Amino acid sequence: MIDRETAKNPTYYRFGEFILEPERASLVKAGREIKLRPKVFDALRYLIEHRGRLVPKEELIQTLWPEAFVTDDSLVQCMVELRRGLDDRSQEILKTVPRRGYIFAATVTTDHEASASASPTTSLPHTMQGDYRLPVARTPIVGRERELDAVQQLLRDPAVRLVTLTGAGGSGKTRLALELGRELTNAFNGYVFFVTLGSISNAAMVPAAIAESIGIRETGGRTVPDLLKDYLRACEPSPVLLLLDNLEHILSASAFVVELMESSRLLKVLVTSRAALHVYGEYEFPVPPLALPDKRLVTSLSALAENPAISLFAQRAAAVTPDFELTAENAPLVAEICARVDGLPLAIELAAARVKMLALSGILTRLESRLQLLTAGARDLPERQQTLRNTIDWSYDLLTEAEQKLLRRLSVFWGGCTLEGAEAVGNTKNDLGADIFDLMSSLVDKSLVQQRPQDADEPRFRMLETIREYAVERLQQSGEEAATKRAHAAYCLVLAEEGNPDLAEPERSTWLTRCDIEHDNFRAALDWLFQPATSTGASVSVLPCFDSGICVSIPPKGGLAWSVSWKWQEPSSPGSALRLPCFWERSPRRRAASRQPPSTWSRVAQSTRSWETLPALQ
């Protein structure tokens, strides 16, 4: 038996194909929500509550506009909109009594009346289908077959409730999420809702944003979170998929996401974020840049045309220059352009937009400064996605001061670094105020630094070149560039000096392997050391061999002799130096590997005794 108070407030009214839910202010027809203005909805609700009797015009006006003076015209317009929403031109549902009022004539049942003849377990009907709320993609997705299959498997797994797509800005997380939502619409019976959070600055606003996407309006004095939870429970036994886009700047909202999942066992959440949420049960799925072509296949047009990064470039280039075609002549240039921008979909699209003004070779040349070139994004994109700089700015501004410092300083590394190297160069003055391991973990979590396993004991960390270029700019602006590069050169010196002549063969082999890995860092250190602005006239005890990846020590006052590996260049003046890689002369194996004639070795040995041109690292 239903108590009177409950009977007065049924959860829903059903008439014909329609269902009206008062608390949600929702009218649904065959699973599709009918949009009504609040006044129109209130009129419908009042007429249903007083169904079967004549409701005078004056009564309706007083109910809908209790504190305002309105004419009959306002009521007539309201009824016109209501009939349009009900598709009731023949007045089978809502009858007009001329000059008097209206009668709601359709047969109405409520949840309480239905429960009298249904089993106690009968649940509320499914009142919403959300697939139509997904933004319609204007271009086809390119090259994400593996990711689509993998994430769909996760979301179809009953044990998985929360999946977070992480990745650098511009890697295509939103586009991937939209495609997943579209492909999973049937699996979730149409209950797929897309919520964009990029413009929200306060985590407390997230419930309202989700409610707006679903179509829930605050009513009856109940809070939005409670309405959301009730709605999700009412959807059972159908699963619901909630797509939350761009959560990285309001990660504290993850607590509410957990609340929603706890309120409904069939809710699944797919999040896009540049940082993981770090909540229990989360499955993180990194979204990588698009795959780049194998360098061994750059002469094969068919192979290049099938590459997703090149396909995306060609697609977007043709959008601004209709006669653009991928040919055997231009495909290698396109491949190099895609490689220069790290395969980031946003960067590829921005580069492709430049074909309207520049030849491919011109684009490639100007990509020496990626941030300056990649600026012409579509006007209807969020501002953070209109230029590559804006995209990285968005991530950088979300970092703590210590994380910003470390990211800037890591930009001096070429080819990455170890955790030891990050600490030696990034925290020389112990001014970060946090543990280097925690800071590096945070930068990895926020998709600004990538971890690349090198071996079981020594993982390496690197930045995408687009991000590293941005960090270099920030380092220059900070006034820390000289000190950081000095620390980097000193670190390289320490690595080089580990290869002393007393090393046993196993240790020497390990050291040489390490030097191979640090090849680019040694070269960058020497480039800085040999800059005239850096030189102080003091001597230094190291020169790396870049061409072979071997690093060796030079005593300041002669002793062991050294030689040039591939090319001889005389010092041009007492203030200059040999900008060349060198071998340790005592090693017959190393000397035999050189392509230089014996006379070159002796000339270098004589010249090294007078080298006093490298800068001090103090």
Digit-coded pLDDT (tens) for 434-466 = 899 999 999 999 889 988 766 556 788 999 888
pLDDT, tens only, 84-115: 888 888 888 998 888 888 999 888 887 554 44
Q: What pLDDT is stored for residue 31 in this prediction?
A: 66
Half-sphere exposure at residue 277, Cβ-oriented, CA atoms within 13 angstroms: 27
Q: What pLDDT is stored for residue 271 in this prediction?
A: 96
3-state secondary structure of 44: helix
401 pLDDT band, cuts 50/70/90, is very high
Tell me how far apart the alpha carbons of residues 385 and 132 are, in angstroms, rounded to a whole number. 25
Q: What pLDDT is stored for residue 3 in this prediction?
A: 38
Q: What pLDDT is stored for residue 198 in this prediction?
A: 84
pLDDT, tens only, 486-522: 899 888 888 877 766 666 777 777 777 787 888 888 8
pLDDT of 413 > 90? The answer is yes
Q: What pLDDT is stored for residue 243 in this prediction?
A: 95
Kind plus residue range of the DSSP H or E element containing 19: strand 18-21
Tell me how far apart the alpha carbons of residues 347 and 30 are, in angstroms, rounded to a whole number. 43
Tell me how far apart the alpha carbons of residues 466 and 305 are, in angstroms, rounded to a whole number. 24
3-state secondary structure of 245: strand
- CATH annotation of 4-117: 1.10.10.10
Q: What pLDDT is stored for residue 244 in this prediction?
A: 95
How confident is the model over 126-150, as a mean pLDDT? 73
The fraction of the chain above a pLDDT of 90, given in percent, is 23
257 pLDDT band, cuts 50/70/90, is very high
Q: What pLDDT is stored for residue 457 in this prediction?
A: 64
In Å, how far are 10, 12, 530 from 94, measured between CA atoms? 21, 18, 88
Show the CA angle centred on residue 443, arms to residues 437 and 444, nearest 5°: 90
Kind plus residue range of the DSSP H or E element containing 21: strand 18-21
Every domain of the chain with CATH number 1.10.10.10 lies at: 4-117
CA 299 to the chain's CA centroid: 32
In Å, how far are 286, 488, 598, 600 from 579, measured between CA atoms? 41, 18, 20, 15
Cβ-contact 256, 235 below 8 angstroms? no
3-state secondary structure of 614: coil
pLDDT of 604 > 60? The answer is no
Does residue 3 or residue 12 have the better pLDDT? 12
pLDDT, tens only, 307-366: 999 999 999 899 888 999 888 888 889 999 998 888 999 889 888 888 888 888 888 888
The DSSP output letter for 24 is T
How confident is the model over 174-179, as a mean pLDDT? 93
pLDDT of 541 > 60? The answer is no
Task: Tell me how crowded residue 66 is: count the other CB atoms within 10 A of its CB.
Answer: 7
3-state secondary structure of 426: helix
pLDDT of 573 > 60? The answer is no
Tell me how far apart the alpha carbons of residues 489 and 421 are, in angstroms, rounded to a whole number. 11
Tell me how far apart the alpha carbons of residues 250 and 228 are, in angstroms, rounded to a whole number. 19
The mean predicted confidence, pLDDT, of the chain is 77
Task: Tell me how crowded residue 610 is: count the other CB atoms within 10 A of its CB.
Answer: 11
How confident is the model over 377-387, as a mean pLDDT? 62
Helix 254-263 with 224-235: angle, nearest 10 deg: 40
Give the fold, CATH level 3, of 131-286. Rossmann fold (3.40.50)
Q: What pLDDT is stored for residue 593 in this prediction?
A: 37
Does residue 396 or residue 550 have the better pLDDT? 396
* Token couple for 504: 């046993």
Q: Which residues contact 202 (CB under 8 A, 6 or more apart)?
A: 250
Q: What pLDDT is stored for residue 181 in this prediction?
A: 92
Tell me how far apart the alpha carbons of residues 193 and 130 are, in angstroms, rounded to a whole number. 5
Instruction: Report pTM.
Output: 0.65
Every domain of the chain with CATH number 3.40.50.300 lies at: 131-286
Tell me how far apart the alpha carbons of residues 408 and 398 are, in angstroms, rounded to a whole number. 14
How confident is the model over 9-22, as a mean pLDDT? 81
Residues listed for the chain: 618
561 pLDDT band, cuts 50/70/90, is very low
The DSSP output letter for 417 is B
Phi-psi region of 25 (alpha: psi -120 to 50; beta: other; left: phi over 0): left
pLDDT of 123 > 60? The answer is no
3-state secondary structure of 193: strand
pLDDT of 608 > 70? The answer is no
